[in-house]
Amino acid sequence: MILTTMIHRRHKGGPSSRKQHQSDSWLQQEEVTFPSQSQWQPLFSVKKKYQEQPGNFSTRPAIIIAALILLSYSFAQLYKPERNKVTTQLITNIPSYDYAHALALSELKSNVVLKRSGARRDYRFIAGEYWDTTWTRDTSFAAEQAASLLYPHVVRSSLLANVETVSIKVGSESEQRTVWLQDECAHFGKWPHLSDSIVGARGAWSYYRATADVDFLDQAYKVTKNTLFRAEQEALDKKLGLFKGCSSFMESCSAYPTKYCTKGDAPGDLVAQTKALSTNALYYSGYKIAAYMGRELGVEEGEYMTYWDNAEMLRRSIRRHLWLEDKGYYAYFMDENNALINQFEGLGEAFVLLDGIERNHARINGMFANITLGKYGLPCLWPKFDHDDADSSAKKDIFHYYHNGRVWPFLQGYYAVAAAKHARTDIVAHSLESLKELALKGQTFAEFYDDEDGTFPPNRRRQLWSSTGFLAMVYQGLFGISYEVDGLRFAPNKPGSVFSDDILLHGFKFRDMMLDIVVMGSGSKVTKFVVDGVEREKQNGSFFVESTLRGKHAVTIVVVEEEEVK
C-alpha cells in the first residue's frame, strides 16, 4: 500500500497563497553561503587550501567542543549519505561554466530538508528559498532533469509524500483511490481546474530509471493508473480526445487573457474548459510511462498495451486539434469555444519536440524556426498577453505578470534537451550561455527572470527546478547522457562556438558506477566512443554503457560537426 500521508500544501499563483518563512519541516534548513565567482575554486583546489591551513581551526576550542557535542547528539538522526555524496565536477577551462555548475549543485542540495510526517522523518525536496513545502510538479520536473541521478532517495520520499486519496466514480459506485497529488493555486483553485497531476508519473519513471527500484515502481504504477482513470472520468473531452484544464505550471491570471480572471466568476471555471498543450503532452507521456511501468512489472500485455494505444490516440488528437498551420507551431491552448489561441507555450512545445509527439520533420524544423528565442532564452508564452484592461495595482502584482512571457530556467532545460535530441547544437549553445549568464548575474538560479533585463524578485531565489534545469542542459544536452533502465546512452551536443577545448564531467555517478566522461571535438556526430581504453560500436542504434558496471570507469567521446562527416 503506498504511503498516503498528506502534507500541508502551499498554493502558488496568488498573493494570499502562503506565509513566507513559515516552515513545516522538523529541521529548519541551514543557511548555505556559496562563494562568489571570484572566490570559487574547483574542488581539488579547495581541499588543498584547507590542508595547507590547519591552524585556522585551533583558535576556537570552545566552538569546536560545542560543535562536537551537537554533532554527537544529532549525527545518527540527521546524517544522510545522499545529502553529501554528490562530487560531480564540470571542467571546461571556462571558469564561469564550471562555477555555474557548482552553484547549481549547491542550490540543489540546499533544497533538501528533513521533514516529519507523524512518526516518520525523511529528507524531501522543497521548492526553494521562501517556498518550503514539497510540490508534485516541482519535484517531478526536477527529478527527471537531474535530481533522480544526484539524490535518488530524496526523490523517492518526496514523490511518496505527493499522493492523495480521492473518491472516484467507478460505474454506479464511488471508490477511494490513491492518485498523484494535484498542486493548487490561488487564482484558479485545484482539481479539475488544474489537472496536471499526472506529472508525478514523469518523476516516478525517472527515479526508477536511475535506481531500478521495483518495489517503488509497483506503487507508482498503481498511483499512475488511478490518476489516468480519474482524468478520463473527470477531465477528458471525449469528443475531441483532449484533456481539459489549466496549462501545467502556468496557473495564474498573468498567463491568460483577462476574461479568465473576471471578478465575480468562480475561480478557474472558465480555465477548466480550455485544453492546454502542456497538460495534454503530460497525459501523453503519462500513458506511455504507464505502459513502460506495466511491461517492467510483467503485467498482462493487454493491460500495458491499452495505455500505449491511448497514448497514440492522444498524440493524434494533439496533432490534429492544436497545430497552428499559419504559425508553424502548436497553439498554447484551445479555448472554451474550441478556438485556438495564437500564442505558443514554451513548455508544451518542448514536450512535443522531446517526447516524440511530433515526428514530421517539416513540422519539427518549422517549430525550431518559428518559436521565438529571446535574449535570455525561450519565454514561457509568446507573444505576451495585453493586460492593459487590468487595474494598475494588479499590473504591479507579481502574480499578474510572472507567467506572461517570462523566462523560466526549468523550461529552458527541457527545451535545450529537446534541441539536443534533434542535433540543434546552436540552440543548446544559446540556452547554456543565457542561463549561465542569468545565474551569474544574480548569484542564484531564480524561479523566473524578466525577459528584457534578466531581473527577478528577491523572494524567488534558489529554486529547485531552476538549478536542475541548468544541470539538465549540461548532463542531457551538452554531454548527451540519457539514463535508462538498462544503462546510459550517449549523444553529446558540444557547440564549438562555446567550448573549443575538451570538456570533462568528473565523478558522474549512476547506480554503482562512477564515470569520468570526456567529450572531444565539437558538434553532435559521434565518431569514436571509448570505454576504459576500448573502442565500442553502437548497440541498438546508440552508444551505450551497461548498468551492470561497478566502480570507476573512463568514457571518451569524439564528436564532429555533421558536415565534417564524409
Peptide bond before 192: cis, by omega within 30 degrees of 0? Answer: yes
The fraction of the chain above a pLDDT of 70, given in percent, is 82
Q: Does domain 89-478 have CATH number 1.50.10.10?
A: yes
pLDDT tens column, 391-403: 555 556 787 789 9
Asked if residues 273 and 243 have their Cβ atoms less than 8 Å apart, the reply is: no
Q: What CA–CA distance (Å, rounded) separates 460 from 36?
A: 19
Q: What is the pLDDT of residue 387?
A: 83
Domain ranges in the chain?
89-478, 503-564
Q: What is the pLDDT of residue 399?
A: 74
Q: What is the pLDDT of residue 75?
A: 40
The parts of the chain modelled with pLDDT lower than 50 are 1-32, 43-83, 565-566
What would the grid cell of residue 170 be? 467507478
Q: Estimate to the nearest angstrom the gap between the alpha carbon of 418 and the chain centroid.
A: 13
Residue in 430, 404, 428 with CA at minimum distance from that of residue 418: 428
| CA distances to 132, 274, 308, 558 from 278, in Å | 26, 12, 19, 36
Q: What is the pLDDT of residue 53?
A: 36
Q: Where are the alpha helices (DSSP H) in 111-151?
A: 136-142, 148-150
- How are the residues of the chain apportioned to helix, strand and coil, as percentages rounded to the nearest 5? 40, 20, 40
CB atoms within 10 A of CB 27: 15
Q: What is the pLDDT of residue 396?
A: 64
- In single-letter form, the type of residue at position 469 comes to G
Asked if residues 334 and 342 have their Cβ atoms less than 8 Å apart, the reply is: no
**Secondary structure of 202-239 in the HEC alphabet?**
HHHHHHHHHHCCHHHHHHHHHHHHHHHHHHHHHCEECC
Q: What is the CATH number of domain 503-564?
A: 2.60.420.10
Q: What is the pLDDT of residue 403?
A: 95
Q: What is the pLDDT of residue 264?
A: 54
pLDDT tens column, 50-83: 233 333 334 444 444 444 444 443 443 444 444 4
The packing angle between helices 214-234 and 199-211, to 10°, is 160
Q: Strands 381-382, 344-345: parallel, antiparallel or unpaired by DSSP?
A: antiparallel
What would the grid cell of residue 58 be? 585551533
Q: What is the pLDDT of residue 474?
A: 98
Residue in 159, 161, 150, 155 with CA at minimum distance from that of residue 24: 161
Q: What is the pLDDT of residue 28?
A: 36
Asked if residues 110 and 32 have their Cβ atoms less than 8 Å apart, the reply is: yes
Q: What CA–CA distance (Å, rounded) separates 373 from 433?
A: 13
Q: What is the pLDDT of residue 116?
A: 80
Q: Tell me which H or E stretch contains 423.
A: none
Q: What CA–CA distance (Å, rounded) separates 352 from 127?
A: 25
Q: What is the pLDDT of residue 10?
A: 41
Q: DSSP character for 288?
A: H
Residues in the chain: 566
Q: What is the DSSP string of 356-388?
A: TS---HHHHHHHHHHSPPBTTB-BSEESPP--T
> Do 89-478 and 503-564 come out as alike in CATH topology?
no
